[in-house]
Structure 1
Amino acid sequence: MPPRSPQRIRLSPERRASLLAALQRHFEDEFDEPLSAFRAEGLVDFFVRHLGPPVYNQGVKDATGFLQEKLADIEGEITEQDDGR
């Protein structure tokens, strides 16, 4: 069995079904055109494969920046408390 790619996004069956239904509704509402389950699955696979990794990476980058800011705040508070004693 080949090793798993860390960039591969996996959807739970529930999440996948929800996305498929939402995509089919979107096509019906926006384009007045039905989208078959087969085509919807192909589109979901395409978007997950091509958009999943960059969106995931951006989320990790944003979370890292947020945590770095919080750690800098904590470090500043500790420094202030040490200077005041």
Structure 2
Amino acid sequence: MTPINLSKELRKQALDEIKKYFLEKREEEIGQLAAELLLDVMIEKVGAAIYNQGIRDAHTFMSEKIEDLYGLEK
């Protein structure tokens, strides 16, 4: 399977959110390296499942739209 890669901007945003979560919810400050390692593990362990759910959702959406097209037949 092709690895999941985030753009620089999206990766930075995710890292900022991880650090914010730890600070606000756990009252812990974590450093950049800890946030990067956590993000990498999350992507490795659940990234494919999230991606696959997106594919299933897109398939369902497109299937419904195709069915709508059949309704336009005369």
Q: CA RMSD in A?
A: 1.0
Query: In percent, how many aligned pairs have the same letter?
Result: 32
Output aligned runs, 1:5-84, within 5 Å. 5-6=1-2, 8-78=3-73, 81=74
List per-residue Cα deviations over 1:22-71 (Å, max 9, x = no partner). 11111011111111111100100011111111111111111111111111
> Segments of 4+ in structure 1 off by > 4 A?
none
CA distance in 2, matches of 1:62, 1:21: 28
**Equivalenced residues, count:** 74
TM-score relative to the length of structure 2: 0.91
Question: d(CA) in 1 for partners of 2:52 and 2:67?
Answer: 22
- Consecutive unaligned residues of structure 2, counting only runs of 5 or more, are none
**Larger-gyration structure (1/2):** 1
Q: Which amino acid aligns with 1:47?
A: M
What are the ranges of 5 or more consecutive residues in structure 1 without an aligned counterpart? none
- SS of the equivalent of 1:35 reads coil
